[in-house]
Structure 1
Amino acid sequence: MRAAAMTANRPTAPAPAPGAGRRVLLLQGPRSPFFARLSDALEAMGAETRRVLFCPGDELHWIGRPALRWRGPLAQWPAACARMLAETGATDVVGLGDGRALHRAGFAQARKAGALVHVVEQGWLRPGWLTLEPDALGAWRPDWSAPRPPAAPASAEKGAPFAAWAAMDVAHDLATLAAGWALYPGYRRHALANPLAEWLGWGGKLARWPARRAARAQALREMAATQARGAPLFLFALQLETDFQIRDRGPAGGVRAALETALASFARAAPAGARLVVKPHPLDPQPWRWARLAAAGGALFLDGGAVEPLFPQLAGVVTVNSTVGLAALRAGTPAAALGGAVYGPLTHPGPLDDFWRAPQAPSPARVAEFVDRMAAEIQTPGAFDGPGMAVGAEGAARLILRRAPGSGGGTP
């Protein structure tokens, strides 16, 4: 009895921290303090973290923290990354997106070293969610045979106001333009446009606001007239040309080629009286390029405003692989994807010509189950900046540590 009592009173060893033994190497992240918060969250869970900085913009939100720095050319980065992985003993590598050349090479070296690759991005579910996918962005597919997880909760997490986000974005570019040539001579931006061209575009966009507002009002009137006639309305949601979802998983020729394909198909196959509405990405600094192309193809051009309120009016939505497609499906609106989309199994199964005449949508129950599985496996509530940043960083840290070392995941 005494031995049993002594055994019962013996203190139990504390459970190991979820991050014990994990060493996480962070590459390029959002233009915000998000990776600093992610590092804090991972270390609070018992992991070790290191960060690689590639340009002065990366330095802005990592001040006072230890870091590795790569200042050389891209051609020498794979070998340098392999050395960093060996020196740090990294078990995990994290980066924003998988399309930029630095991350392609870094993730390839991580896989060779047996480290887990985690790709962080804006959420597939919007708003208020972040994505953290294993190995490659957009590669996730649901396992319909697995037990269904609980229903996805609504996320109320918010990002920073546009002005605050824009200030961080501009500060990153200004720092890199001003000091990159001296401090990081080997760095090359992954974006297609020079930041100066982007800023000029935004200036033109603001200057044209009165004309854009009048054109939007006219487009809304024509959409209402189409509905009043009982004719179907379709929407083409554009994406940014610099988006790697377009560059890596879209059609050859990018946004222009996709829009030209849709316009030609609509002219050829749409029912009489139907109208196609082209909506630019809200962050496109030069939307008037697409306005001219849309008008030449007989489509309406709707610049500005949220897309979600339009769904009840639409017979269908076309996009390359924008999250607008998944949002439309969640609202019960059929969608067609012209590129590789994570929600591809839910989109119209036939050719685009058939979509205009008889758009097909999956059952609401199928969409809901897809969303529930996605939310449970590769989504977390939060934002890259603003009030939702801390929640997003903690959730991303949990998803990173949930994967067991050595679990792999395959080469994309």
Structure 2
Amino acid sequence: MLHGPSSLFFPRLAAALEARGAEAHRIHLCPGDALYWGRRPRGRSYRGDAAGWPAFLADMMAREGITDLALLGDNRPRHREAVALARATGVRVHHVELGLVRPDWLTIEPNGAGPALPLPETPEAMAALARAEPPEERRLFPPSFPEYAALDVVWNLSNLLVSWATHPHYERHATWHPTAEWAGFLWKLVRARRDRAHAAAVWEAWGAGDAPLFLLPLQLRTDFQIRVHGPDPDLRVTMAGVIRDFARNAPPEARLLVKEHPGDNGMTPWRRLLRAEAARHGVEPRVEVIDGGDLNAMLDRAAGVVTVNSTVGLSALRRGVPVKALGRAVFAREGMTDPQPLRGFWRAPMAPDAARVADLLGALGWATQVRGGFEGAGVTAGAAAMAERMLAPARLPGEASRAAWPRLSGKARTSC
């Protein structure tokens, strides 16, 4: 195992793997990794620089007989080289992430594939892979924001305070410095009541009308889904382009509702930036930016959803709402997202094929989704389900394949 969530999920996953007969190894790339691994066996730190990393990892994987590699985010420092080495040596890669379906689902993708997940291309093959019911959007595990926040702060603080001594070449993957993010979240907390009131007022005015309402759900600027798989690595550029296109091509009665990501750190003044962009193009009365509100109600009301590659797009598709994907997305497929240019989408959005959407969801549920969470009440269930999936045979075409590992054989050795 390499970097995982800034929580106790990877130690729980290691315990679940070991309970099923596997060995779990961990390479600590920062003090936070070592802190949360605790006294568990088979943990070691890498203190060298980027140049020495491939040789260190190759030696460790060969010496320990590593069969699987688990990590969160295949574009983080050290992860890119690890994934390349694993692919070259036949080690199976498991990219873990929050679920493509929310809430209470986790994603485990082979080979760190992301939007390039090796799903079938033809409708017939996709239907054949859809061996599970579409994952339900019902919450089973209560979230625990205080636990999430506390674990994240402790993980980052340990890195800030002692990495200079224990991991001198540690590289943060995040764009924002942790202290800047914490300040942003505190400011969001201060203005939360005002933001909720503003969102409620906008929805009261716009939700009940019959004018075409397009929803633009924002993603996190620092997300690799934006930085690697979006049309521009700067989300501000992409969003400004959407508003410009809306002003030029949308029907005059249409409205654009921009919803901030609930996990946004508040460092980007989205409302000011995007309202100013709307004013430059003469559509300020028809563009609103809110932080809060009921996403499901917005989807039920929307004439269409414009997104880079947010999982909101998948939620919209399963409701039959037309979706325009601007970036590479696992759901950007024929018969699902609208293939026409954005200028055409505003005037004649194309609805998805319900059968194809159901098959995609069934295939994702079968091959990549497990129930649970990275923190809170869902950790134990998520770790157990992910361990079962890691030790199971491959489920996707093109995935590094193997038969299931015999339980209690000790032959599956996962570097988590």
Question: Which TM bucket (shorter chain)?
Answer: 0.7 to 0.9
Counterpart Cα distance in 2 of 1:105 and 1:98: 9
The one-letter code matched in structure 1 to 2:391 is L
Note if contact 1:159-1:383 (Cα within 8 Å) is conserved in structure 2. no
Counterpart Cα distance in 1 of 2:289 and 2:139: 31
TM-score normalized with structure 1 length: 0.88
Counterpart Cα distance in 2 of 1:241 and 1:350: 26
- 2:78 matched to which residue of 1? 102
1:296-346 Cα deviation digits (max 9, x unpaired): 212101111341221111101111101011011112211111110011012
Counterpart Cα distance in 2 of 1:378 and 1:234: 30
Q: How does 1:312-331 map to 2 (within 5 A)?
A: 312-331=300-319
SS at match of 1:234: strand
* One of 53, 78, 85 as aligned partner of 2:54: 78
Counterpart Cα distance in 1 of 2:77 and 2:170: 11
Q: How does 1:97-136 map to 2 (within 5 A)?
A: 97-135=73-111, 136=113
Counterpart Cα distance in 2 of 1:249 and 1:334: 21
- 1:149 matched to which residue of 2? 131
Structure 2 unaligned blocks of 5 or more: 279-283, 401-416
- 1:219 matched to which residue of 2? 202
TM-score normalized with structure 2 length: 0.87
Counterpart Cα distance in 2 of 1:46 and 1:175: 32
SS at match of 1:133: strand
* One of 357, 360, 367 as aligned partner of 2:350: 360
* One of 157, 182, 186 as aligned partner of 1:199: 182
- 1:260 matched to which residue of 2? 240
* One of 162, 187, 190 as aligned partner of 2:170: 187
Farther-moved stretch of structure 1 (187-196 vs 391-400):
391-400
The answer on 1:376 being equivalent to 2:385 is no
Counterpart Cα distance in 2 of 1:306 and 1:141: 33
Counterpart Cα distance in 1 of 2:199 and 2:65: 55
Counterpart Cα distance in 2 of 1:30 and 1:68: 18
Larger radius of gyration: 1
Counterpart Cα distance in 2 of 1:60 and 1:334: 45
User: How many residues align structurally?
Assistant: 381
1:253: how far off? 3.9
- 2:403 matched to which residue of 1? none
Change (3 A) 1:193 1:73: same
Change (3 A) 1:400 1:277: same
- 2:273 matched to which residue of 1? 293
1:332-364 Cα deviation digits (max 9, x unpaired): 211111110011012111101111101112122
Change (3 A) 1:75 1:212: same
Farther-moved stretch of structure 1 (202-211 vs 161-170):
202-211
SS at match of 1:266: helix
1:211: how far off? 3.3
Q: How does 1:146-185 map to 2 (within 5 A)?
A: 146=125, 147=128, 148-154=130-136, 156-158=139-141, 160-185=143-168
- 1:350 matched to which residue of 2? 340
The one-letter code matched in structure 1 to 2:377 is P
- 2:191 matched to which residue of 1? 208
Counterpart Cα distance in 2 of 1:159 and 1:204: 25
Change (3 A) 1:206 1:303: same
* One of 45, 49, 53 as aligned partner of 2:24: 49
The one-letter code matched in structure 1 to 2:11 is A
1:210: how far off? 3.9
- 1:402 matched to which residue of 2? 392
- 1:32 matched to which residue of 2? 7
Change (3 A) 1:153 1:122: closer
1:153: how far off? 4.9
The answer on 1:305 being equivalent to 2:293 is yes
Query: Greater relative contact order (Cα 8 A, min sep 6): structure 1 or 2?
Result: 2
1:175: how far off? 0.9
1:129: how far off? 0.8
The one-letter code matched in structure 1 to 2:33 is D
Farther-moved stretch of structure 1 (35-44 vs 317-326):
35-44
Change (3 A) 1:331 1:309: same
The one-letter code matched in structure 1 to 2:82 is G
SS at match of 1:318: strand
Change (3 A) 1:241 1:78: same
1:179: how far off? 1.0
RMSD over aligned Cα, in angstroms?
Answer: 1.9
- 2:116 matched to which residue of 1? 139
- 2:263 matched to which residue of 1? 283
SS at match of 1:271: coil
SS at match of 1:336: strand
Farther-moved stretch of structure 1 (160-169 vs 336-345):
160-169
Counterpart Cα distance in 2 of 1:187 and 1:248: 22
The answer on 1:341 being equivalent to 2:329 is yes
1:90-120 Cα deviation digits (max 9, x unpaired): 1111101211121111111112222111101
Note if contact 1:251-1:257 (Cα within 8 Å) is conserved in structure 2. no
Counterpart Cα distance in 2 of 1:51 and 1:253: 31
The one-letter code matched in structure 2 to 1:114 is G
Identity of aligned residues (%): 45
Counterpart Cα distance in 2 of 1:301 and 1:43: 48
